[in-house]
Amino acid sequence: MQSILAAVFLAAAAVLPAQPVLVDQTGHRFTLAALRGTPVALTFVSAHCSDACPLINAQFSAAAGSLERRHVRLRLLTITLDPERDSAADMRRLAKTFSANPRRWIVAGGSVADVHAVMHAFGVVAQRGADGYADFHSTVVYLIDAHGAFRKIMLPSTNLPEQLIGEVRSGALAVAR
């Protein structure tokens, strides 16, 4: 399954028309290309989700602490999968709730078009529930190496911090020097 998802991601990324601009929890605008130089673990959440998203946010929070304590170079990036509903204030609140230090963990949104372009590039699926929110969605972690190349898809788990550290230390994410 991972190879199928990787093929979908690579095909979509190859046809991404322009670098979508995202906005982090501090209001700073950036592109995914601007993150090159350090490997990135990326996931998509909804700030209004009460199911899987708070769990992945808690896992990313734990990972941020472990990465910091062990001096492991890996950025965490969370992007909204519901840009129609998740405002910049919602993403800031999410970042604050989980103590996301933007030097380690970026929590981002952006225009509907730009966020949807990134979602499409990664094959993210989100469907609206009766409440109008993106309640039904895929939940995975994408690993991107220091050169900006997709490397792996992981399922979130309580062991996520150790898995991420293992991926970086194995050399699979090619930390740039």
109: domain CATH number is 3.40.30.10
Residue 67 lies in a domain: yes
Residue 175 lies in a domain: no
Any domain includes 176: no
pTM: 0.86
If one counts the domains in the chain, the total is: 1
Location of structure tokens 């788990």: 157
Residue 114 Ramachandran class (φ > 0 left, ψ -120 to 50 alpha, else beta):
alpha
Q: Which residues contact 17 (CB under 8 A, 6 or more apart)?
A: 117
**What are the backbone dihedrals phi and psi of residue 135, each rounded to the nearest 5 degrees, phi first?**
-80, -30
Q: Which domain holds residue 142?
A: 2-169
Residue 71 in domain: yes
Give domain status of residue 174, yes or no. Answer: no
- Cα 12 to its chain centre, rounded Å, is 17
Q: Return per-residue pLDDT of the chain as tens, 177 residues.
A: 555 555 555 544 444 445 899 999 999 999 999 999 999 999 999 998 888 889 999 999 999 999 999 999 999 999 999 999 999 999 999 999 999 999 999 999 999 999 999 998 988 887 776 666 666 667 889 999 998 888 999 988 889 999 999 999 998 786 555
